[in-house]
Amino acid sequence: MTYNPNISRPSLSSYVTGLLAAGHLIFFRDEAQAAIGIGRGAFLDAAEKLQKRGQLLNPRQGFYVIVPPQNLNFGSPPPASFIDDLMRHEKRPYYVGLLKAAELHGAAHQAVMEFQVVTDKQRQAVQAGRSKIAFYFRKDISAVASGIEERKTDTGKMKISSVELTLLDLLRYPQASGGLDNVMTIFEDLGPQVEAGKISVLSGAFERSVIQRAGYLLDHSGFAQPAEELHAFLERGAHPQWTELDPSLASDSDLAPKIIVRDKRWHVLVRCMPERDE
């Protein structure tokens, strides 16, 4: 991104206004200092004033996000408008996933405040106004490359998980998924979009227990074809071990509900039948 200042050097405030008028929401400290012609200390003082007014965010060192007037009440532009720039600034592969991806794919009731991103390095969450950008770790993002799609945004683009990758991730990261009833609801909502071949290709990048749970939920939701692909994948490997459908229910052996179903097809133990979360 380049910015052509007037003959007289602009202030940071006028620099930001000029960028916003040109349709840019982000800038970098070094380029701003060069354009304005001020030192780092003066720049940081000016940036702090704009941050206190709610006109600027500094989610990562050297990276700034402009808050347009229409977003002042929210405290930030939508994270979708700058997530791709942020992750390129950090030089990290990523995709928007989990509940946020489910919402983007049209899952009912998935209006989530947490903007969930999967990347290959442990990262601290970023508070962006009323929204939090939460990062989830996957070391081998290249292993799920077939499940990463590009989605246009108002300001450019971002990477998001496909329907198939989203469903598998919801079971891989249960702490981010809102509970098994919520996951069941999303499986029912997005199941018609699942392509059996695509979910089969992704299977090898996931723990077998995740594939067992996903297959059980697809079967339970009436999506036989993708479920059959997952079952065929399991059949090609070692005999599956028994796994809990909802591991959180079995975390305390003294308080765990009794097993009510032992599903022999998927080798899944069910202690509470999942229900649609209305």
Q: Which of 146, 139, 186, 148 is nearest to 167 (CA)?
A: 186
* Residue 115 pLDDT > 80: yes
Task: Identify the bridge partners of residue 119 per DSSP, sorted by sequence position.
Answer: 94, 137
Q: Compute the average pLDDT of residues 137-141.
A: 97
Section 2-31 average pLDDT: 83
Residues with Cβ within 8 Å of residue 134, at least 6 apart in sequence:
114, 115, 116, 117, 125, 176
* 32-55 tens-digit pLDDT: 999 999 999 999 999 999 999 999
> What is the DSSP-derived secondary structure letter of residue 35?
H
Helix (H) or strand (E) holding 33: helix 29-36
Q: Which helix (H) or strand (E) holds 13?
A: helix 12-21
Q: Alpha-carbon distance 86 to 95, whole Å?
A: 12
Condensed to tens digits (0 to 9), the pLDDT of residues 25-34 reads 999 999 999 9
Q: What is the pLDDT of residues 101-112, one digit of tens each?
A: 999 999 977 667
Question: Cβ atoms within 10 A of the Cβ of 233, count?
Answer: 19
Indicate if the pLDDT at residue 98 is higher than 90.
Answer: yes
pLDDT at 237: 85
Beta strand extents in 32-130 (DSSP E only)? 56-60, 63-66, 94-96, 114-119, 126-128
Residues 78/155, Cβ–Cβ less than 8 Å? no
Distance, CA of 14 to CA of 36 (rounded, Å): 10
Query: What's the rounded Cα separation, in Å, for the pair 275 and 247?
Result: 16
Which domains does the chain carry? 12-77 (1.10.10), 80-270 (no CATH)
